[in-house]
Amino acid sequence: MTDTLLRREPPETPAETGSRRLAERVSRIRESGIIVVLALFVAVTAGVQPRFLSVTNIQFVLVNTTIYALLALGETMVVISRNVDLSVGSVLGMSAYLSASLFGQHHGIPIPVVFLVGLGIGLGWGIVNGLLVAAGRVPSLVVTLATLYIIRGVDILIVGGGMVTANTLPGSFTDIPKDTVGGIPDLAIAVAAVIAAGAYYLRSFRSGRELYAIGSNPGAARLAGITIGGRVFTAFAVSGAIAGVVGVLWAAQYGTVDSTAGTGYELTVVTAVVVGGVAIFGGSGSAVGAALGALLLSTINSALYVLGISDFWDQAIAGFLLLLAITIDRIISVRLTAALRLRSTRRAT
Amino acid sequence: MKLRQTAWLAMSVLTASSLVAACSSSSSPSSSVTTSASSPAATSGALKTGLKVFVIPKNLGNSYFTTADSAKTGGAIAALDALGETGTETSGTTDTPSSQIPAIQAAISKGADALIISATDPTALCPTLNSAMKRGIVVVTYDSDAPTCRSLFINQATSQGIGDIEVDLLAQQLHDTGQIAIVSASADDTNQNAWIGYMKQELKKYPKMSLVSTVYGNDDTATSTQVTQGLLEQYPNLKGIISPTTVGIAAAAAVLDTAKYRGKVALTGLGTPDEMKKYVADGTVKAFALWNPANLGYLAAYAAVELASGKINGTQGQTFSAGKLGSFTIGADKTVLLGPPFVFTASNINNFNF
Amino acid sequence: MRLNLAEMRARAPWALRWETGLAIIVVIIGVIGTAASPSFLTSNNLFNLGLSNGEIAIMTLPMALIVISGEIDLSVSSILGMSSCLLGFLWSRHWPMIAIFVVIAVVGIAAGAINGLLVTRVGLPSLAVTIGTLTLYAGIAEILLGPRTVANFPAAYTNLGVNAVPYTGNAVTYSTAIFVALAVIFGVVLHMTPAGRSIYAMGASPEAALFAGIRVKRIKTMLFIVSGLVCSLAGVLYTFRLSTAVADNGVGLELDVVAIVLVGGISIFGGQGSIPGVVLGVLAFAGIQNALLLTNFNQEASGIVAGGLLLLSVFGRNAGSYARRLREWAPAGRRPTESPAAGQGAQAATESRP
């Protein structure tokens, strides 16, 4: 099994390389598109309020993004395979409370253990989602909608009216989002590394590329011998595990955790992922793009607060960006399909 | 095919309408109108027992309300138990009227004699509360008021008292000079807006202090964090922040808890001791205020039972006893005051566990 | 004698239909609810049920048609919120109510048209589009009213939340009455007109429908427009019931609407489902939540029940295919009477019966 998981693609024929390069070039253009919009936004905002680019503000934005960027990584894997995971917010909330409360109940518990507990909680729910979707053959929209309700309900039952307060958390834990190296938050560097690793996996490993195949054309994927159930299950398990870890980070960042942690995050994550170029019906997109989408949304949020513009605009802007992004993606994909088709007919003649 | 479908449709509509008709013809007037009016008359002077009282905070899952309501913290239900009534806490799960109203209606259906409510909105609950009062149910609000549709409001402290102490605490730390900002909860919160109004008035006493902005964190941790960060960037000379909401002050404290801001930007507001212990210990927050929510709930419970027993009727000047808290007098606007706000500092915070 | 599903299906197809099972469940809920609390089926409780769920129920009707046609509309709650804020905004600017109603209707139609056009003309997936418009319209709602609330609507309108429809014995709210009326209209359109059949067709197979000459794009756009109009109507009802217009009216309701539609038997893949099913779904969903409220079931866990109901409904739908797959895994050594040949023989015997 490890063999199939980690086996890399056999060498391509030149024709395949050409097509792949074209598709990749397009996705690079798409990602750079986001970077351009981001740069524009930053430039305009900094022009009006130079403090937007102050070191502390950049640190704020980067740290605030880490949560959404990580969630976007897990969500990307799921969405690429033509599924969706709406339960990430609830998983985050439960993991945040249960793992952070460990500090109060077991004094001196090592921080890595707490992270492992969070990962375990998330992985558990991810497995549930994966089983329901893969073995149960139930559409993931419905399954994760149901688990969104159920997990939040269980969390509310467990938490009751309680909360985890900052005084029970060790200083070294709450400092995790605050430590910086050369002005850049450690957390941002770590998350960037994880996302790079995730992107590499999706691009270069067989099991990663199979997710694209499943999302792109499930029937063909099955005929090609891909174990759809297994791959989809893994995608959900990973998404859940990531949400679990992010829950622990959430607790470190905010210090106080009650039963409302993470409510509504799923919507923001899906928006970030789609703005970042991942097609909602699967088959294309990249983890880097999704992370950039998360960064863009966080930046806009921060810009609105820093400019003192009523933050009531951020939702409208996010919605508009989403619609813009999918429209552009549609145009690109129509052109790209035509170009690829032309290329393959040319090769055939 | 068509016939069968028509039959289906007709059947469903018929079933639905006959269900409604059957129920309306056999309707019993809701059982809530109760026995409080016709219960064996207690000897005048003694409070009624066996009343069904529902405590309905803004939403469940908020530790402030859990402290105010539950038996083990000495809150509302502890008082109700001591008085021999049946106390139940219920509400929705989000801080909105549409989440709270079904819980209120269910309480009425379950035969409530009295409702103790922290209102999610000053007016949206009124249709429901007014119809409750018409049936003889006692409606008492606590913590957050719905001024036109209740019999009594139990106020934790006067709005003026809260507004004043917030500004005074900050002025002390700022030596009466500097820019300040407010991180509030939701813009339609009755209590928030009342307190902010008085804060602005009290500020006039300190001409060298100015309020540069009021932002809303919606009692959501992430939002409160971001609006605080935005404030710090937008106003580099900000010297102090007031956050009169427990979620807001905790979030702001987490943001300010770094070498860069600790001691340079002062923070005060309304917070619970547990949430604030870490920040008071490391100096991010020097002093903040609150009241004892459990006492608030306890007092509200006594007031409700006194009302339901007919011993008071909300007129200004009436007095009643509230068990271990002593005796209270009803003030203007059918309001009962718990007392002055309590200031927590490093010297006393560890005496409290809520 | 073994249960022969094929035979059953041939003789009494109605017994195995989703709606039948759901109807049984609704009856069971009614029984459990009444057993748990005598006030469950009283007119007063039904009235409260209608109040809290009326607008959601109304929104499920166009949603059902959209899902049957193979699309989805997640922006329903934001259109409700936007129209609520528009109502508050224009009212606070002293526009006459009739003009406000017209504007709201136009905006609702426009909002739906945007959804429809993006899906049909630009060819974007409705899931992504309506997530975008959900956010966009919620944002517009916030921009309209900002942090303010508008609560001074005339009693003539806000009595929607207080009074029942005359002659129904105080059990039927205006929103319930509107729901029933709309259910009949939608039911007739869906089940008895060619347009309705087209909707099923395009859900079952978009290409086939196109080749059959059905104007898929036009009908889908119309469905979204109708959804927008109906949801803005729901927004008006919601606002008057709570007598408050505020930016977060309706937030999160789309999940409930989708859940009800799915529980009602509409397949998420399109092409299947019925209006009676949706009506039963509304009764089941609302009934369960209300029954939980009336008993002392932990209110906080009602989400678990909702999610569980949703899962059950999807697994129930797939139960047939699970049974089949399970049978396929049965060990190879079977008794002769159960061999496929014998099975076919039995089937042939059935078919040859007069």
pLDDT in tens, B161-180: 899 999 999 999 999 999 99
Verify that B297 and B152 share a domain, yes or no. yes
Q: Could you tell me if B311 and B213 lie in one domain?
A: no
CATH number for position B164: 3.40.50.2300
Tell me: do B128 and B70 sit in the same domain: yes
Confidence of residue C278 (pLDDT cuts 50, 70, 90): very high
Domain membership of residue B87 (yes or no) is yes
Set out the domains of chain C in order of their start, with CATH numbers: 5-298 (1.10.3470)
Q: Please report all neighbours of C, defined by 3+ CB atom pairs within 8 A.
A: A, B
CB-CB under 8 Å, B254 with A166 = yes
Chain B CB within 8 Å of residue C19 CB? yes
Judged by CB atoms closer than 8 Å, whether chains meet at B109 and C45 is answered as yes
pLDDT for position C59: 97
A chain contacts of residue B96, beta-carbon cutoff 8 Å: none
State the nearest Cα–Cα gap between B251 and chain C, in angstroms: 20
- Are both B100 and B59 inside the same structural domain? yes
Residue B151 lies in a domain: yes
Instruction: Name the residue type at position B318.
Output: Q
pLDDT at A167 over 90: no
Of B233, B261, B290, the residue that ends a domain is B290
**Alpha-carbon distances, residue B109 vs B142, B151, C12, C282 (angstroms):** 22, 20, 42, 21
Q: Kindly state whether residues B301 and B275 are assigned to the same domain.
A: no
Three-state SS at B179 = strand
- Assess if residue B315 is contained within a domain: yes
Q: Which residues of C touch A (CB under 8 A)?
A: 118, 122-125, 127-129, 131-140, 142-143, 146-147, 247, 255, 258-259, 262, 268-269, 298, 300-308, 310-311, 314-315, 318, 321
Give chain C positions within 8 Å (CB) of A314. Answer: 139
Beta-strand ranges (E) seen in chain A are 180-181, 184-185
Going by their DSSP bridges, the two strands B178-184 and B335-337 should be labelled as unpaired
Is B170 contained in some domain? yes
Chain mean pLDDT for chain B: 84
pLDDT (average), residues A266-289: 90
Tokens of C5: 């599903």
Cα distances (Å, whole numbers) of residue A245 to A1, A286, B110, B208, C287:
26, 21, 43, 47, 38
Sorted by sequence, the CB contacts under 8 Å of residue B248 that are 6+ apart come out as B183, B184, B185, B217, B219, B224, B269
Name the nearest CA neighbour of B320 among B39, B45, B42: B45
* Co-location of B63 and B136 in the same domain: yes
**How many Å from the N-terminal Cα to the C-terminal Cα in chain A?**
40
Confidence of residue B45 (pLDDT cuts 50, 70, 90): low
- Quick one: tokens of C206? 């978009």
Q: Is B7 part of a structural domain of the chain?
A: no
By CA distance, what is A152's nearest residue in C?
Answer: C303
Instruction: List the single range of A299-303, B3-7, B206-210, C298-302 with lowest mean pLDDT.
Output: B3-7
Diameter of chain A measured on Cα atoms = 73
pTM of the model: 0.83
Least CA distance to C314: which residue of chain A?
A138
| B281 in the same domain as B306 | no
- Asked whether residue B14 is domain-assigned, the answer is no
pLDDT of res. C249: 84
Of the pLDDT bands very low, low, confident and very high (cuts 50, 70, 90), residue C3 is: low
Reading phi first (left if > 0) and then psi (alpha if -120 to 50, else beta), residue B98 is in alpha
Q: Which domain holds residue B88?
A: 52-156+293-339
Strand partners, B182: B214, B242
Position C151 scores a pLDDT of: 84
Q: Does the structure's ipTM exceed the value 0.90? A: no
Between A290 and C156, where is the model more confident? A290
Q: Is B9 among the domain residues? A: no
In the beta sheet, which residues pair with residue B270?
B289
Residue A230's alpha-carbon distances to A71, A225, A242, B196, C102, in angstroms, are: 21, 12, 18, 57, 54
C-alpha C193/C-alpha B2 separation (Å) is 10
Q: What is the DSSP annotation of A17-52?
A: HHHHHHHHHHHHHHHHHHHHHHHHHHHHHHHH-GGG
Q: Which chain A residue shows the shortest CA-CA distance from B69?
A: A161
- The answer, for B88 touching chain C at a CB cutoff of 8 Å, is yes
CB contact set of C128 (below 8 Å; sequence gap of 6+):
A274, A280, A322, A326
Domains of chain A (ranges, CATH numbers): 2-7+51-348 (1.10.3470)
Structure tokens at B323: 């068990």
Q: Give the gap in angstroms from C-alpha B67 to the nearest C-alpha of chain A.
A: 8
- At C187 the pLDDT is 95
Does the pLDDT value for residue A347 go beyond 70? yes
Q: Which residues of A222-253 are buried (b: 16+ CB within 10 A; e: fewer)?
A: eeeebbbbbbbbbbbbbbbbbbbbbbbbbbbb
Q: Are B212 and B267 part of one and the same domain?
A: yes
CB distance A322–C135 less than 8 Å? yes
Question: How many domains are there within chain B?
Answer: 2
B39 domain-assigned: no
Statement to judge: residues B205 and B269 lie in one domain: yes
Pairing of strands A184-185, B178-184: unpaired
**Kind and range of the H or E run holding A214:** helix A206-216
In tens, the pLDDT along B23-37 reads 433 333 333 333 334
Q: Are residues B133 and B81 part of one domain?
A: yes
Query: Where do we find the tokens 């089926």?
Result: C41
Q: Yes or no: say if C300 and B93 are a contact pair by the CB < 8 Å rule.
A: yes
| CB B318 within 8 Å of CB B138 | no
My answer on whether B66 and B147 are in the same domain is yes
Give residues 180 to 199 of A whose Cβ lies within 8 Å of C. none
Under DSSP, the state recorded for B349 is: G
Cβ atoms within 10 Å of B201's Cβ, excluding its own: 13
Backbone angles phi, psi at B36, to 5 degrees: -65, -30
CA distance A312 to B170: 29
Is residue A320 less than 8 Å (CB to CB) from chain C? yes
Same domain, B174 and B216: yes
